[in-house]
Amino acid sequence: MAKKEFTKGKWIAERKNKDQTCHLVKTGDRYTVHIYESNFGICEEESWENAKLIAKAPELLKMLKKVTDELEYYAGNTILKNPLIEKSRNLIKTI
Protein backbone atom coordinates (compact mmCIF):
# COMPACT_ATOMS: atom_id res chain seq x y z
CA MET A 1 0.00 0.00 0.00
CA ALA A 2 1.37 3.41 -0.96
CA LYS A 3 2.09 5.85 1.84
CA LYS A 4 -0.64 8.46 2.15
CA GLU A 5 0.53 12.04 1.85
CA PHE A 6 -1.34 14.92 3.38
CA THR A 7 -0.78 18.60 2.71
CA LYS A 8 2.32 19.53 4.71
CA GLY A 9 2.44 22.48 7.06
CA LYS A 10 0.23 23.99 9.70
CA TRP A 11 -3.45 24.07 8.76
CA ILE A 12 -5.20 27.31 9.74
CA ALA A 13 -8.93 28.01 9.67
CA GLU A 14 -9.66 31.37 8.09
CA ARG A 15 -13.09 32.84 8.76
CA LYS A 16 -14.79 34.22 5.67
CA ASN A 17 -14.99 37.95 5.25
CA LYS A 18 -17.50 40.09 3.37
CA ASP A 19 -15.75 39.36 0.06
CA GLN A 20 -15.67 35.57 0.45
CA THR A 21 -18.38 32.98 -0.03
CA CYS A 22 -16.90 30.35 2.30
CA HIS A 23 -14.60 29.67 5.22
CA LEU A 24 -11.16 28.38 4.28
CA VAL A 25 -8.54 26.05 5.67
CA LYS A 26 -5.19 27.42 4.63
CA THR A 27 -1.74 25.80 4.53
CA GLY A 28 0.97 28.34 3.91
CA ASP A 29 -0.22 30.38 0.94
CA ARG A 30 -2.46 27.58 -0.38
CA TYR A 31 -6.15 27.07 0.35
CA THR A 32 -6.52 23.39 1.18
CA VAL A 33 -10.25 23.14 2.01
CA HIS A 34 -13.30 25.31 1.31
CA ILE A 35 -16.23 25.04 3.76
CA TYR A 36 -19.55 26.48 2.61
CA GLU A 37 -22.71 27.17 4.51
CA SER A 38 -25.87 26.09 2.76
CA ASN A 39 -29.59 26.59 2.56
CA PHE A 40 -29.99 22.93 3.51
CA GLY A 41 -29.32 23.15 7.24
CA ILE A 42 -25.71 24.27 7.74
CA CYS A 43 -25.59 27.83 8.98
CA GLU A 44 -22.61 30.19 8.86
CA GLU A 45 -21.63 29.50 12.47
CA GLU A 46 -21.76 25.72 12.03
CA SER A 47 -19.66 25.88 8.87
CA TRP A 48 -17.09 27.99 10.78
CA GLU A 49 -16.95 25.39 13.58
CA ASN A 50 -16.46 22.68 10.92
CA ALA A 51 -13.60 24.68 9.39
CA LYS A 52 -11.85 24.92 12.77
CA LEU A 53 -12.24 21.17 13.35
CA ILE A 54 -10.91 20.30 9.90
CA ALA A 55 -7.92 22.60 10.42
CA LYS A 56 -6.97 20.58 13.52
CA ALA A 57 -7.24 17.20 11.73
CA PRO A 58 -3.47 16.73 11.11
CA GLU A 59 -2.66 17.50 14.76
CA LEU A 60 -5.47 15.25 15.99
CA LEU A 61 -4.24 12.37 13.82
CA LYS A 62 -0.67 12.82 15.06
CA MET A 63 -1.87 12.86 18.68
CA LEU A 64 -4.10 9.80 18.14
CA LYS A 65 -1.11 7.86 16.78
CA LYS A 66 1.09 8.94 19.69
CA VAL A 67 -1.48 8.13 22.37
CA THR A 68 -2.23 4.76 20.72
CA ASP A 69 1.49 3.89 20.63
CA GLU A 70 1.83 4.80 24.32
CA LEU A 71 -1.28 2.85 25.27
CA GLU A 72 -0.05 -0.17 23.30
CA TYR A 73 3.39 0.04 24.93
CA TYR A 74 1.99 0.00 28.46
CA ALA A 75 -0.76 -2.54 27.72
CA GLY A 76 1.78 -4.82 26.04
CA ASN A 77 3.14 -5.80 29.43
CA THR A 78 -0.21 -7.00 30.76
CA ILE A 79 -2.37 -10.02 30.06
CA LEU A 80 -5.43 -7.89 29.30
CA LYS A 81 -5.28 -5.82 26.14
CA ASN A 82 -7.10 -2.52 26.06
CA PRO A 83 -9.85 -2.53 23.39
CA LEU A 84 -9.10 1.14 22.69
CA ILE A 85 -5.84 0.12 21.03
CA GLU A 86 -7.58 -1.94 18.36
CA LYS A 87 -10.27 0.71 17.85
CA SER A 88 -7.64 3.43 17.48
CA ARG A 89 -5.51 1.40 15.06
CA ASN A 90 -8.59 0.58 12.95
CA LEU A 91 -9.60 4.26 12.87
CA ILE A 92 -6.09 5.29 11.80
CA LYS A 93 -6.17 2.70 8.99
CA THR A 94 -9.30 4.30 7.53
CA ILE A 95 -7.53 7.63 7.01
pTM value is: 0.75
Handedness of CA 52, 15, 41, 32 (dihedral sign): negative
Q: What is the pLDDT of residue 79?
A: 55
| Residue-level pLDDT, tens digit, the chain, 95 residues | 567 788 888 999 999 888 888 899 999 889 889 988 877 778 888 989 999 999 999 999 999 999 888 888 877 766 557 788 888 888 888 88
What Cα–Cα distance (Å) separates residue 81 from each residue in 72, 76, 77, 91?
A: 8, 7, 9, 17
